[in-house]
Amino acid sequence: MHGEMGEKILNTADSIMVQHGYSAFSYADISEAVGIRKASIHHHFPTKAGLAVAVLRAHREKLIRSAEMLDAQMESPLARLQAYIHHWEGCIRGKTVSFCVAALLGAEMPSLPEEVQVEVRLHFKALGDWIERTLKAGVRKRVIRLQGTVAMEAQTLMAVVHGGMLSARALENCDVFRMVTDATMNRISTEKS
Amino acid sequence: MHGEMGEKILNTADSIMVQHGYSAFSYADISEAVGIRKASIHHHFPTKAGLAVAVLRAHREKLIRSAEMLDAQMESPLARLQAYIHHWEGCIRGKTVSFCVAALLGAEMPSLPEEVQVEVRLHFKALGDWIERTLKAGVRKRVIRLQGTVAMEAQTLMAVVHGGMLSARALENCDVFRMVTDATMNRISTEKS
DNA sequence: GAATCCATGCCTACTAGTAGGTAGTCATAT
DNA sequence: ATATGACTACCTACTAGTAGGCATGGATTC
């Protein structure tokens, strides 16, 4: 469906949106970054909202694919969650991708075109569902011990990850992300801290 | 320092920024909302960055003032934290102010003027410090029991609150905020859940 | 095999609208 | 008399999006 250039635009749009959000990124920014004229980007992605939707869809598909891979490759559900969190820690530390696009757009929700809002909602749903499934599996395998309901703990873990990202960005200090995620993972782990 | 109109502009800017963030709000929006011409707003607040700084400063002063009031009026540190969280639950539910301005701008950090970034950082610092102090007092009074270090737990609580706001906004479901904050408060409380 | 057709991809050049910000005028109130 | 606060009118820069031209290259047709 997309050509080589289409993909290049998509990736560039992703990395720009991660830095600046939806309203503060423009076709001109992408144009300069990929070395193509502004109008040519409209050829690949006619509207800004459509481009954002494409970016979010790709992001969600990547999330789902990665989750499936983790599920298949790692035995321990606890280790899978840890891998997910570790992935983001790496992203934040190697500051090129210092935030989750969907989470960022979640903050901008009220000023987003409806079609974009839908994709953001889908991401939060998909992520929450995977965490919940994984927590459940961890409880079954006795590597995870929860204090509240699974839904509660899944939403809490997601909130900690996103809130941790926010703090890391605001304080310009990646350690805070590790701190809060470590605390949370230690809490739900049945192993000794 | 500010006249009556200055305050009106400030409040309006606040509520618009809470909805749309920094880059997606304009002097024209405020102009329409307060019933004054665009140029007249520049008379009160010459630059957009300056206006944002003023909004954040007011917001932080209000936070500090409220925290001092809570500290003075409520005996239990646990109840103080609960009051803070309850305040936000009310804001989110009565959807007029559905987010913390400073937290929102924290997400936009990389595309913010430096002067604004400073204020955002100060807010995160101030909030984190108050939570940490309050947790410490709660531990002393044996109404709060922590598993990790105080700094860890303070940052975690802040992350849960901000992450919960994000989820509530993204999923358009305020209950998720109550869910994650309840879970967290129950966890650190020494009372029966 | 050559000529035609048509889609792809990029371009220049443009539009209407909005952004933040400025200059200068005028009324009011101290 | 001067400062305040509002105004009209304007500026430059940038926004998303459009129109139409030009090259390529792979099919189809004669």
DSSP A45: S
Contact B21 A120 (CB under 8 A): no
Please identify residues in chain A, positions 15-44, with a C-beta within 7 angstroms of any atom of strand D.
25-29, 38-39, 42
| A3-56 pLDDT per residue, tens | 778 889 999 999 999 999 999 999 999 999 999 999 999 999 999 999 999 999
B112/chain A closest Cα distance in angstroms: 9
Residue burial A19-50, b: 16+ Cβ < 10 Å; e: rest: bbbbbbbebebbbeebebeeeebeebbeebbe
Domain A4-188 CATH assignment equals 1.10.357.10: yes
User: A150-171 vs A77-93: helix axis angle to the nearest 10?
Assistant: 20
Query: Of the candidates B23, B161, B167, which has its C-beta nearest A158's C-beta?
Result: B167
CB proximity list for B7: less than 8 A, separation 6 or greater? none
Q: In this predicted structure, what is the pLDDT of residue A193? A: 54
Q: Examine the pLDDT at A169 and tell me if it is beyond 50.
A: yes
Comparing CA positions, the residue from A137, A169, A177, A179 lying closest to residue A154 is A137
Mean pLDDT, chain A, integer: 94
Q: Examine the pLDDT at A94 and tell me if it is beyond 80.
A: yes
Residues of chain B contacting A172 with CB distance shorter than 8 Å: 109, 121
Cα dihedral sign, A69-A75-A78-A79: negative
B145 — pLDDT class (breaks 50, 70, 90): very high
Place of tokens 């869910």: B179
As a whole number, mean pLDDT of residues B130-155 equals: 97
Q: How far apart are CA A123 and CA B178, in angstroms?
A: 21
Helix boundaries (H) for chain A:
4-20, 27-34, 38-44, 48-73, 77-93, 101-108, 114-140, 150-171, 175-188
| B38-54 pLDDT per residue, tens | 999 999 999 999 999 99
A192 — pLDDT class (breaks 50, 70, 90): low
DSSP B193: -
Q: In this predicted structure, what is the pLDDT of residue B96? A: 67
Q: In this predicted structure, what is the pLDDT of residue B2? A: 66
Q: Examine the pLDDT at A1 and tell me if it is beyond 80.
A: no
Mean pLDDT, chain B, integer: 94
Q: How far apart are CA B170 and CA B167, in angstroms?
A: 5
Q: Examine the pLDDT at A146 and tell me if it is beyond 50.
A: yes
- Bridge partners, residue A128, by sequence: none
Q: Examine the pLDDT at B1 and tell me if it is beyond 50.
A: no
Q: In this predicted structure, what is the pLDDT of residue B4? A: 79
B175 — pLDDT class (breaks 50, 70, 90): very high
Q: Examine the pLDDT at B182 and tell me if it is beyond 60.
A: yes
Residue of B19, B155, B158, B187 to mutate when probing chain A, most A C-beta within 10 A: B155
